[in-house]
């Protein structure tokens, strides 16, 4: 709502020199009161207990009294056991502080109010997490690649940091952080921060993130992890049994960084390492600074799915360096990043490859638009979503990308590249709103090349549910060819043996399978399987596409393979289409529920939520 009002005011005075509108004082998905008392630094001291599935210890928050009269610090928490709260004046001793934990809200968690004297400089909270904390996933040894040691990882975006750290859990607030993490012997802790290679004498791993970051980028993983360098700034952490394959797959990361720096300015985070997670990681990747978390499902041996790495790396500019100030501005993170990803992929692997990825992204967009509520089809909503996870879809990614492509075409690539570089430089280590972006756009492009873009057109991109007619839609000759061949195959003019699919890239296969018309027959699917051995493919992405197609065609003989797949995967993008296809018939839904009951313990809490929404009959989302 706030963005829309600012947008209106801004457009009304669009001829004046643009001063960027201020950031909002508070944010609808957080109880924090940074306009009164703001957290300036976070220091964690936690022990990891796999047996009891909990983190316990302290967080020290350095605070600033923005409003000198304010006497209560408000923090976000979700299902934390708060044992003790203390405050400390400069050079003073820790003193017990009064605190009040409010009744929990289903989405936001519990507000923690802490009484702070006017001279308090720091607040210490002693706490522990609960075994089913929404931001933590605890894996048994059986759920890992190596099967010998347990594994823990965090996923803080969007509002899950509060389930493992009491803090101001909003992207409005940025702070540097330090941490000491005590792990059981033989296990290594890694975080989105500078790391030391060895634990200290007490068995604690030490970390420091000197740059101010939003809370959703604080990340931790603990497991049987080994490291392999892949370049001067890059390397891979993975379980030992995965390490060599992962390092081979992601060997070209340093080159991608260099390409990004050429256009968007220096990489400002020091190292860029990747952490390969177990299959239950719910996303493709998570752009935790200095240490992207990545799904093992993109390790195929042929480096064909590395655009995922380009995406996570691009977040080092769009998202991590310049951050959406509220979750209603999510497209500023993901639309920009998707645009940068396509540019990087194109620069590194050629126009034809980039075009294929763009077309597949556009198909994802159409699919999401069809499923989403009308309010979620535009880039900014009239009112904030109740739960950011619930409205997660391709729309902020792909529609945001199309918006930026459209702007690029209006102003020319050279001018638009310079504009983006300026946006990143001028807002580095800051959070930004859509209204601020529009003010900057007005100042740096629209005012300098007047008459090319109107306020009505910008509104159509940002606020109107349908895609603007002027959108520049991607095309790919490699994919058009596949569509034509599929058409001839479906109508019987081309035999299955004549399909030239042996040489298809994974993207061509994805298009062939994902947008298959409903008239495909079970017999045709069987012929495909007999020739190309799609059931049981080791490529997890194609495995999901193929099984979804069989399930959608009503092929009950696919149920056992679907069950095996759903028990072994955890990435939401791969599992939700299968649950959705099964849920279309009462019998399929009953089967899906049975499978889910078995699979759920291996899924991340965020993925469980998403699947449960499908099984309840809600179709929106991932």
> Between residues 36 and 434, which has the closer beta carbon with respect to Zn ion?
434
Length of the chain: 622
- Separation in Å, CA 435 to CA 5, 228, 375: 9, 43, 19
> Between residues 49 and 334, which has the closer beta carbon with respect to Zn ion?
334
Mind giving me the DSSP string for 72-125? EEEEEESS-EEEEEEEEETT---EE--EEEPPPBTTTBEEEEEE--TTEEEEEE
Least CB distance to Zn ion at residue 318 (A): 9
CA-to-CA distance for 614 and 595, rounded, in angstroms? 13
> Between residues 334 and 408, which has the closer beta carbon with respect to Zn ion?
334
Phi, psi of 393 (to 5 degrees): -160, 180
Number of chain positions touching Zn ion (CB under 5 A)? 2
Least CB distance to Zn ion at residue 288 (A): 11
Tokens describing residue 348: 């590194």
Q: Is there a cis peptide before residue 346, judged by omega within 30 degrees of 0?
A: no
> Between residues 334 and 514, which has the closer beta carbon with respect to Zn ion?
334
Least CB distance to Zn ion at residue 315 (A): 6
To the query of whether residue 579 is one of the catalytic residues in this protein, the response is no
CA-to-CA distance for 437 and 451, rounded, in angstroms? 19
> Between residues 76 and 334, which has the closer beta carbon with respect to Zn ion?
334
Kindly identify the residues of this chain, within the stretch 302-341, that bind Zn ion according to CB under 5 A: 334, 337
Q: Report how many helices (DSSP H) and strands (DSSP E) the chain contains, helices first.
A: 18, 22
Least CB distance to Zn ion at residue 146 (A): 28
> Between residues 224 and 334, which has the closer beta carbon with respect to Zn ion?
334
To the query of whether residue 194 is one of the catalytic residues in this protein, the response is no
> Between residues 280 and 307, which has the closer beta carbon with respect to Zn ion?
307
Least CB distance to Zn ion at residue 399 (A): 14
Q: How many CB atoms are located within 10 Å of the residue 19 CB?
A: 9
- Separation in Å, CA 310 to CA 182, 272, 316: 33, 12, 10
Nearest C-alpha neighbor of 135 from the set 193, 219, 76, 208:
219
> Between residues 29 and 311, which has the closer beta carbon with respect to Zn ion?
311
Nearest C-alpha neighbor of 354 from the set 407, 301, 295, 306:
306
> Between residues 149 and 337, which has the closer beta carbon with respect to Zn ion?
337
CA atoms within 13 A on the CB side of 258: 9
CA-to-CA distance for 403 and 467, rounded, in angstroms? 10
Going by DSSP bridges, is the β-strand pair 234-238/272-276 parallel, antiparallel, or unpaired?
parallel
Site string for Zn ion, 336-365 (x = CB under 5 A): -x----------------------------
**In this structure, are residues 289 and 218 in contact, taking their beta carbons and an 8 Å threshold?**
no
Considering the candidates 20, 249, 252, 312, report the single residue annotated as catalytic: 312
For 542, residues 6+ apart whose C-beta sits below 8 A from its C-beta are: 506, 509, 510, 513, 534
Least CB distance to Zn ion at residue 545 (A): 21
> Between residues 320 and 337, which has the closer beta carbon with respect to Zn ion?
337
3-state SS string for 145-177: CCCCCCEEEECCCCCCHHHCCCECCCCCCEEEE
CA-to-CA distance for 74 and 65, rounded, in angstroms? 12
Strand residue runs (E) in 239-295: 272-276, 285-286, 291-294
> Between residues 109 and 400, which has the closer beta carbon with respect to Zn ion?
400
- Separation in Å, CA 322 to CA 335, 432, 469, 531: 13, 7, 30, 49
CA-to-CA distance for 279 and 573, rounded, in angstroms? 12
For 12, residues 6+ apart whose C-beta sits below 8 A from its C-beta are: none
Strand partners, 101: 112
Least CB distance to Zn ion at residue 556 (A): 37
Helix axes 330-349, 434-441, angle to 10 degrees: 60
Least CB distance to Zn ion at residue 297 (A): 16
Least CB distance to Zn ion at residue 603 (A): 21
In angstroms, how far is CA 74 from the centroid of its own chain? 26
Considering the candidates 10, 283, 362, 397, report the single residue annotated as catalytic: 397
Tokens describing residue 182: 């005590």
Kindly identify the residues of this chain, within the stretch 77-116, that bind Zn ion according to CB under 5 A: none
**In this structure, are residues 432 and 318 in contact, taking their beta carbons and an 8 Å threshold?**
no
Chain residues that interact with Zn ion, rule: CB under 5 A: 334, 337
Catalytic residues: 312, 397
């Amino acid at each position: 709502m706030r963005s829309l009002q600012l947008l209106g005011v801004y457009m009304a005075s669009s001829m004046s020199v643009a001063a960027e509108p201020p950031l909002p004082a508070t944010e609808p998905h957080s109880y924090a009161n940074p306009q009164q008392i703001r957290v300036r630094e976070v220091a964690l001291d936690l022990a990891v207990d796999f047996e009891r599935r909990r983190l316990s210890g302290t967080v020290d928050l350095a605070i600033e009294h923005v409003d000198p009269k304010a006497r209560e610090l408000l923090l976000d928490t979700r299902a934390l056991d708060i044992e003790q709260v203390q405050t400390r004046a400069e050079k003073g001793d820790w003193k017990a502080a009064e605190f009040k934990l409010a009744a929990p809200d289903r989405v936001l968690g519990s507000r923690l109010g802490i009484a702070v004297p006017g001279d308090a400089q720091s607040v210490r909270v002693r706490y522990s997490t609960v075994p089913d904390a929404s931001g933590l996933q605890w894996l048994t040894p059986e759920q890992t690649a190596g099967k010998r040691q347990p594994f823990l990882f965090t996923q803080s975006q969007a509002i899950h940091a509060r389930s493992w750290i009491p803090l101001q859990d909003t992207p409005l607030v940025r702070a540097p952080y330090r941490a000491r993490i005590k792990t059981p012997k033989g296990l290594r802790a890694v975080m989105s921060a500078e790391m030391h290679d060895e634990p200290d004498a007490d068995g604690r791993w030490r970390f420091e993130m000197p740059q101010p970051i939003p809370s959703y980028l604080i990340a931790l993983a603990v497991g049987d992890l080994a490291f392999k360098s892949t370049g001067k700034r890059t390397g891979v952490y993975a379980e030992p049994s995965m390490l060599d394959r992962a390092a081979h797959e992601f060997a070209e990361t340093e080159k991608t960084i260099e390409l990004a720096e050429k256009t968007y300015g220096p990489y400002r985070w020091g190292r860029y390492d990747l952490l390969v997670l177990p299959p239950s990681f719910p996303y493709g990747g998570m752009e935790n600074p200095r240490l992207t978390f990545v799904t093992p499902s993109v390790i195929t041996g042929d480096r064909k799915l590395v655009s995922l790495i380009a995406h996570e790396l691009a977040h080092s500019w769009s998202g991590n360096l310049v951050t959406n100030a509220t979750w209603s501005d999510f497209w500023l993170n993901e639309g920009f990043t998707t645009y940068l990803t396509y540019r990087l992929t194109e620069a590194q692997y050629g126009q034809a490859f980039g075009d294929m990825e763009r077309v597949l992204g556009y198909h994802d967009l159409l699919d999401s638009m069809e499923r989403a509520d009308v309010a979620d089809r535009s880039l900014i909503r009239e009112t904030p979503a109740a739960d950011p996870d619930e409205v997660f879809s391709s729309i902020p990614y792909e529609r945001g990308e199309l918006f930026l492509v459209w702007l690029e075409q209006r102003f020319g690539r050279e001018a638009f590249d310079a504009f983006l570089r300026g946006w990143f430089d001028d807002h580095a280590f800051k959070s930004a709103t859509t209204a601020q972006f529009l003010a900057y756009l007005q100042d740096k492009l629209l005012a300098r090349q007047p008459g090319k873009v109107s306020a009505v057109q910008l509104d159509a991109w940002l606020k109107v549910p349908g895609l603007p007619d002027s959108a520049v839609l991607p095309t790919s000759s490699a994919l058009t060819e596949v569509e034509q061949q599929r058409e001839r195959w479906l109508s019987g003019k081309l035999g299955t043996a004549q399909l030239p699919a042996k040489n298809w890239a994974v993207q061509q296969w994805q298009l062939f399978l994902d947008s298959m018309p409903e008239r495909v027959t079970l017999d045709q699917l069987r012929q495909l399987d007999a020739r190309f051995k799609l059931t049981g493919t080791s490529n997890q992405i194609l495995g999901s596409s193929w099984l979804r197609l069989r399930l959608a065609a009503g092929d009950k003989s696919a149920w056992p393979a679907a069950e095996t797949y759903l028990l072994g995967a955890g990435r939401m993008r791969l599992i939700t289409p299968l649950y959705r296809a099964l849920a279309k018939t009462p019998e399929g839904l009953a089967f899906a529920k049975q499978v889910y009951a078995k699979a759920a313990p291996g899924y991340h809490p965020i993925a469980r939520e998403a699947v449960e929404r499908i099984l309840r009959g809600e179709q929106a989302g991932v």
